[in-house]
Structure 1
Amino acid sequence: MITANVEPVLRHTGLSQAPLSHAQQRLWFIDAADPGAATYNVPLLMRWLEPLDPAALSAALTAVADRHAVLRTRYHLVEGQPVQEVTQSVTVRLDVVDLTGDPNPEDRLHAEAAAAACEPFDLAGGIPVRCRVWRGVPGGDAALITFHHIAIDGWSLSVFFADLEEAYGAVLAGRPVEWAEPEIRYIDFAVWDREVTGGDAARNRLTARAAELRPYASPLVLGLGEARRGGAPTRQGGQVVFEVGDPLRADVHGLAARLRVTPFVVLLAAYQEVLRRWSGRSEFLVGTVTANRPHPATEKLVGFFVNTVPLRCAPRAEDSFSALCGEVRKEAFRSLTHQLIPFDQLSAEIGGNGPLVQVGFALQNMPAWDSVRPRWGAPVQLPTGTAKFDLLLILEERPDAIVGTVEYADDLYSSDLAVEFAGHFQVLLAAAVANPDQRVCHLPLTRREPDLVPPCVLVGPVSDLAGARAAMIGGAA
């Protein structure tokens, strides 16, 4: 008897309780290991362009949570295993602070918003979204909507804010909030996610990919980071923000078009060469973040779909930058076939004492929130004083610039080092797009004079770097 290999179908299950998706489970275990941490808080501060109506905003948030069940889902243990359970209905309540007459309303707003951004979530006892409002601020009323990442990702934000705008306008106008029933819910995706990662075929893919990555999987440490860390790693961290404006942003897109690659490839190639210089390593892994929305029905859903996909990096010092882009393109394309492999399964398969990847890269170019009548300015994500990787470079595409953020673990790296790293990335990127046929080892990292290279940074061909780094770390010991 021959049995057909039927691919699991993503469909509406009608379930109110199910296991977590693989992506959610990883965050749940992190939260369980370090309860009270704000590492995966997503705090978004919005300044209103008109007087804010707290009652209407509460009703609108409740309507959006009614549409997107993941925003009214709790996470708890059943027979020793984490499950998600959809609550039938919730009311999203607001904490309202009136700053009318306060002598320093802006200072108080920013101080209170920074503190609220770091307040922990109780994933078992509450829903993964909350809101605080400040009224009477001369610069405009403000609202801080904070999510736990287990319920939302970057792609989801445009969906969420479009629905919130529609619901808020309807409530103000006294109209009912009416939407078509979603084709699926996030819990349905979680069930599908578990189905597609089971079975022999999925196991074979996992084993093959782990074998490809294992030779690259030793820890990647930059500069003197290894000498700084003493004791167990923490998740405390900081951020350095910079901007890649025109004409460099336009040059990146121009080079990508000429090489028939994406801007992601050009930016990641530059990042890899900076990492090679700072680490003295010619082979390493970088964790990239993929949207992982495998079906059109998921594109209009709020939820946590992203997966961390490790990429093999092997920048060769004597290659041109164009050639490096070609190699990065091949690996990035191959990684698309592996984006459904859960990161936690891959990490377990490869093994090791620490995390599979220490350094991350993310290019955020998700669909923008297209407002019909904007009632608030662009939401700003507040820092939480935490770090998801030892070092993470986040680049966000905007119409006139690329905004970069270097997020770093402060038990390994300092803010001065992060500033230096961000500067090196921009200098090398500019030189690379200006002369993509130049060997990458000759691309400058700094605009300083040659004899003023900053400490803890290795410059030169790959053959020179290993010994130089060993001497540098030995001298710091």
Structure 2
Amino acid sequence: MPRPRLLRVEEDRWELMFVLHHVCADGWSLSLLLAEIAALYTAAAAGVPHGLPAPAMQAPGYARWQREHHEPGDEAERAAFCARYLDGVPSAVPVPTDRPRPQKLSGHGDTVRGVASGDVRAAVEKLAADLRTTPFAVAAAALGVFLTRLSGEEDTLLSVPYANREGTASESLVAMTSTAVMVRVRLDSANLEETCAELAVRTGAGALGAMAHVLPTARIMQAMRDAGAVSVPDRVPHVLAFQNSVDTDIEIPGLRVEVTDLAPPLSRSELCFGLAPRRDAAKGYRTFLEFSTDLWDHTTAHDLLASYTDLLAEFCARPDRPVRALLAERPSLSLPNTGKADAV
């Protein structure tokens, strides 16, 4: 259950601390809760009923809907698709680090934050519209190029949070429906003559297929083993969180409101790159990078986030350029553990 606490820190300044476990709410739910808080406060201040409708669905109803809409043969078909889609994916992508990789990561981490300008966002959205794909597909393709430039590995796998909400009934549901899908960005010799635009379209098509065949990650890995895959990753260390369903820009009449996400000191993956569109498109994206402090320093994480944002802008600026031209440009990042950080 949510745990709110209201603190008065100055005569006319208050802080509402809201602790929410991820098991009971996802990013979509956070947007709903913030909007409801704003509506309730506004109505109470005006002395009028809030007028909020009852949610069309609760968590038990969502669980029943999932059971009813998944045929017994669905899982086998989904598993077979995932095994084909991920066949040949490498078991590891060796992104250079500040420190030698321990045998087992501790889970300790941190989060750095930044901004991608309104111009970058406009370029991403224009390219997506021109290609009849999504801004997510553009961001994922660019991240695949970025990871390949760092690691030299031409085939990268991204874990992507997926809202997993179908139909209008689940739109007002506060619950944890989000799941992870795996999106592949392949840049091997057969694809290097592709343009950035073609890579974005292909990446988007693969992502749509993965989202149409959602399964738990462990089940997908088992399907790959059952299909005789030579290499099966134990986990997916790199995440792209494109948070277009998360809106924290709330407005309350008579108040200046700022919403701050207090990230815990942990990392659920090695690197999680995040883009969150602002309500005002001119303000661009909020960006963040959650990273393992076993592997990277705070300064390096800032550099990684800034470098990815720069590459995203570059990717969109000349979408007709071959992908190999972007890969030929060496990253300027310097990582002490590997010397000068051009692992490509």
Give your verdict on TM over 0.5: yes
In 1: Cα distance, 2:12 partner to 2:44 partner: 25
Q: Distance in 1 between the 2:237 and 2:64 partners?
A: 30
Q: Output aligned runs, 1:73-472, within 5 Å.
A: 128-137=1-10, 140-170=13-43, 180-197=53-70, 199-216=72-89, 218-224=91-97, 228-315=100-187, 316-339=191-214, 341-350=215-224, 355-366=234-245, 368=247, 371=251, 373=253, 375=255, 377-398=257-278, 399=280, 400-443=283-326, 444=329, 446=331, 455-459=340-344
Contact 1:423–1:446 (CA<8 Å) still a contact in 2?
no
Higher radius of gyration, 1 or 2 = 1
SS in 2 for 1:405: strand
Bigger relative contact order (CA 8 A; separation at least 6): 2
- Asked whether the equivalents of residues 196 and 202 of structure 1 are also in contact (C-alpha less than 8 Å), the reply is no
User: C-alpha displacement at 1:250, in angstroms?
Assistant: 1.8
Deviation by residue 1:353-384 (Cα, 9 ceiling, x = unmatched):
86431111011112646646364513111121
Q: What is the distance in 1 between the residues matched to 2:114 and 2:50? A: 40
Q: Which moves more between the two structures, 398-407 or 143-152?
A: 398-407
In structure 2, list runs of 5 or more residues that go unmatched. 226-230, 334-338
The 3 A distance-change label for structure 1 pair 139 and 245 is farther
CA gap of 1:253–1:172, structure 2 versus 1, over 3 A, is closer
Q: Go from structure 1 to structure 2 and tell me whether the alpha carbon gap of 1:136 and 1:276 turns closer, same or farther (over 3 Å shift).
A: closer
CA displacement 1:86-110 (0-9 Å, x = unmatched): xxxxxxxxxxxxxxxxxxxxxxxxx
After TM superposition, give the deviation of residue 146 of structure 1 in Å.
1.0
Contact 1:285 1:310 in 2 (8 A): yes
User: Which amino acid letter does the alignment assign opposite residue 265 of structure 2?
Assistant: G
Distance 1:136 1:427 in 2: 38
Structure 1 pair 435/177, CA: closer, same or farther in 2 (3 Å)?
Answer: closer
CA distance in 2, matches of 1:155, 1:223: 33
Q: Report the more deviating stretch, 391-400 or 430-439.
A: 430-439
Offset of residue 180 of structure 1: 4.5
Preserved CA contact (<8 Å) 2:144 2:156: no
CA contact (8 A) 1:217 1:357 kept: no
Percent of paired sites with the same residue? 26
Structure 1 gaps, min length 5? 1-127, 449-453, 460-477
Q: TM-score, normalised by structure 1?
A: 0.62
Q: Structure 1 residues 238, 136: closer, same or farther in 2, change over 3 A?
A: closer
Conserved in 2, the CA contact under 8 Å of 1:387 and 1:407? yes
Q: Report what 1:112 is aligned to.
A: none
Other structure's SS at 2:10 match: coil
**C-alpha contact (below 8 Å) 2:91/2:234 kept by paired residues:** no
Q: How many residues end up aligned between the 2 structures? A: 326
Cα distance per residue 1:387-411 (max 9 Å; x no partner): 1211110001112211211111111
Answer whether contact 1:220 1:279 (CA < 8 A) is retained. Answer: yes
Distance 2:31 2:51 in 1: 19
Change (3 A) 1:148 1:326: same
Deviations 1:224-254 (A, max 9, x none): 47x6222322211112212111322222222
Partner of 1:215, secondary structure, is coil
User: Structure 2 counterpart of 1:455, which letter?
Assistant: K
CA distance 1:193–1:457, shift in 2 (3 Å): farther
Summarize the Cα distance change of 1:138–1:223 in structure 2 as closer, same or farther, 3 Å threshold: farther
| CA distance in 1: counterparts of 2:166 and 2:287, whole angstroms | 27
